[in-house]
Amino acid sequence: MAIEHLQPGNLVPKPPEPRPESEIMAGWKGDRNKPLVSILCITYNHAPYIADALNGFLIQETDFPFEIIVHDDASADETQRIIEQYQQRYPNLITTVFQTENQYSKGSRPTQFVKDLCRGIYSALCEGDDYWLSPDKLSKQVFLLETNKDVHLSVHPAYLFDVSKGKFAPKFEHDLVSGSVLPVSDAVSASSQFAPTASYFFRTKEFLSMPEWFFNAQDLPFGDYFIEALLGRHGIIYAHDIFSVYRRNVPGSYTHRTAQSSDNYLISRIGSVLRYTSKLEDYECISSISIQKRKVNIVKDYQGMALARRSLYLYRAVSAEGERYAVRNAVVENIAMKSEVSFRCYRFYRFLKATSSKLKSFIWMLKKRFSRSPNFSG
């Protein structure tokens, strides 16, 4: 059963304790040594969270075999110990890859260590600080891809839980019925991540045929977007249920590392992101207009970081990287780069603009709320 929307103020839901291994496997049909689905979990220093992820995998109720492959990148906390305890309880379900040295710091992408272990026709992703809520998740996404043979990727919404603020809310929702096929242009041109990583469900064969740079490039800062773009290039099937929780601002996460990064690191990273985004132009089914929109969004995002950091140096460098990929500034943005004074004035202008927008939204919400109030006159 899918988890229904929770109301603000409720506690963030957690998956229940899983059943014994024998009960999970009791309803499986076919060869238990030939899993239909491979669950891939990448983790590092996720001791406070990894049990939720593993429980979310183990609550799945299916009539087909599945396997769980967990890669730990030499965690310095108790993550490996917790995984080992689960593996002892579920030896026929959980396969582990424990690194003794952190591979990510050496430029190695974790996916290259698990991709060749996948035995399933389908694969599902979930990082160790996220988790699944519904026991129906795998069954429903299998059904969607089984009934849409030409589509390779399925996604769904999630609860976004900001651990730094203790707030959560539904995110990544579309006003569509389950089973709707979204065009890849929606994902390619998105201003940020189109769908939560823990929602990704795809055909393993297509995943393994992704370009070599996706698995091995040392300067590729993330893979989510390229999974959406490349595996979704024939359409993306949407399941409307909220099947997972996406934690944001977890210590050590991509979002957290970005906030702590130096200006020079961010300059190097935007160059890499724009360069790999340009590689999507090799695929005829991905429109160049969508790709260019994405490049514009990337530049605007990094310019926003520069404004937040009050760094004219970063703003100029980001704008220069954008120029290399035909992303050009508006006149007012070029004026902002002239001097520290003009940059401060531009920051103040953006502040006023954002404040005005928030005020308009607040007034609109008030009008909407009062328009629904009952009329007590008469």
Average pLDDT over residues 28-32: 92
The predicted-structure confidence for 33-79, as pLDDT tens digits, reads as follows 999 999 999 999 999 999 999 999 999 999 999 999 999 999 999 99
Q: Could you say which of 254, 285, 319 is where a domain stops? A: 254
The predicted-structure confidence for 327-365, as pLDDT tens digits, reads as follows 999 898 999 999 999 999 999 888 888 787 667 676 776
Residue 170 lies in a domain: yes
Q: Are 41 and 71 in contact (CB under 8 A)?
A: yes
DSSP collapsed to 3 states, 41-101: EEECCCCCCHHHHHHHHHCCCCCCCEEEEEEECCCCCCHHHHHHHHHHHCCCCEEEEECCC
- Based on the fold, state whether residues 120 and 244 are members of the same structural domain: yes
Report the range out of 3-17, 40-54, 243-257, 356-370 with the highest average pLDDT. Answer: 40-54
Asked if the model's pLDDT at residue 259 lies above 90, the reply is: no
The predicted-structure confidence for 100-131, as pLDDT tens digits, reads as follows 999 888 888 888 889 899 999 999 999 999 99
- Based on the fold, state whether residues 225 and 352 are members of the same structural domain: no
- Based on the fold, state whether residues 189 and 208 are members of the same structural domain: yes
CB atoms under 10 Å from CB of 204, counted, come to 19
- Based on the fold, state whether residues 181 and 268 are members of the same structural domain: no
Q: Are 371 and 365 in contact (CB under 8 A)?
A: no
- Based on the fold, state whether residues 136 and 241 are members of the same structural domain: yes
- Based on the fold, state whether residues 240 and 288 are members of the same structural domain: no
> 350 vs 190, 208, 317, 322, 345, CA distance in Å?
22, 44, 19, 20, 9
Residue 13 lies in a domain: no
The predicted-structure confidence for 48-58, as pLDDT tens digits, reads as follows 999 999 999 99
Distance (Å, rounded) from C-alpha 154 to C-alpha 179?
9
Residue 1 lies in a domain: no
Q: What are phi and psi of 287, to 5 degrees?
A: -70, 140
- Based on the fold, state whether residues 154 and 242 are members of the same structural domain: yes
Q: Could you say which of 254, 275, 303 is where a domain stops? A: 254
Residue 139 lies in a domain: yes
Asked if the model's pLDDT at residue 10 lies above 60, the reply is: no
Domain CATH number, residue 108: 3.90.550.10
| Residue 378 pLDDT class (50, 70, 90 cuts) | very low
Average pLDDT over residues 320-325: 96
- Based on the fold, state whether residues 291 and 224 are members of the same structural domain: no
Q: Which residues of 15-29 are buried (b: 16+ CB within 10 A; e: fewer)?
A: beebeeeeebbeeee
The three-point CA angle 313-262-253 to 5° equals 135
Average pLDDT over residues 81-88: 97
Residue 73 lies in a domain: yes
Q: Could you say which of 254, 274, 290 is where a domain stops? A: 254
- Based on the fold, state whether residues 130 and 238 are members of the same structural domain: yes
| Residue 268 pLDDT class (50, 70, 90 cuts) | very high
The predicted-structure confidence for 272-308, as pLDDT tens digits, reads as follows 999 999 999 999 999 999 999 999 999 999 999 999 9
| β-strands 167-171, 158-162 pairing | antiparallel
Asked if the model's pLDDT at residue 15 lies above 50, the reply is: yes
Domain range for 350: 261-367
Nearest to 97 by CA among 73, 77, 75: 73
Nearest to 51 by CA among 99, 1, 14, 11: 14
Q: Please give the pLDDT value at position 12.
A: 78
Asked if the model's pLDDT at residue 271 lies above 60, the reply is: yes
Q: Are 109 and 223 in contact (CB under 8 A)?
A: yes
Asked if the model's pLDDT at residue 4 lies above 50, the reply is: no
Residue 7 lies in a domain: no
Q: Quick check: pTM over 0.85? A: yes
Residue 123 lies in a domain: yes
| Residue 270 pLDDT class (50, 70, 90 cuts) | very high
Distance (Å, rounded) from C-alpha 265 to C-alpha 250?
20
Distance (Å, rounded) from C-alpha 190 to C-alpha 194?
6
Asked if the model's pLDDT at residue 244 lies above 60, the reply is: yes
Report the chain's mean pLDDT, rounded to a whole number. Answer: 90
User: How many structural domains are present in the chain?
Assistant: 2
| Residue 3 pLDDT class (50, 70, 90 cuts) | very low
| Residue 262 pLDDT class (50, 70, 90 cuts) | very high
- Based on the fold, state whether residues 276 and 241 are members of the same structural domain: no
Residue 373 lies in a domain: no
Q: Please give the pLDDT value at position 258.
A: 74
Q: Please give the pLDDT value at position 51.
A: 97
Q: What are phi and psi of 123, to 5 degrees?
A: -135, 150
- Based on the fold, state whether residues 299 and 320 are members of the same structural domain: yes
Q: Please give the pLDDT value at position 8.
A: 47
Q: Please give the pLDDT value at position 376.
A: 38
Q: Which two tokens stand for residue 54?
A: 């593993």
- Give Cα 134 distance to the centre of its chain: 18
The predicted-structure confidence for 146-201, as pLDDT tens digits, reads as follows 999 999 999 999 999 988 888 889 999 998 999 999 999 999 999 888 999 999 99
- Based on the fold, state whether residues 48 and 71 are members of the same structural domain: yes
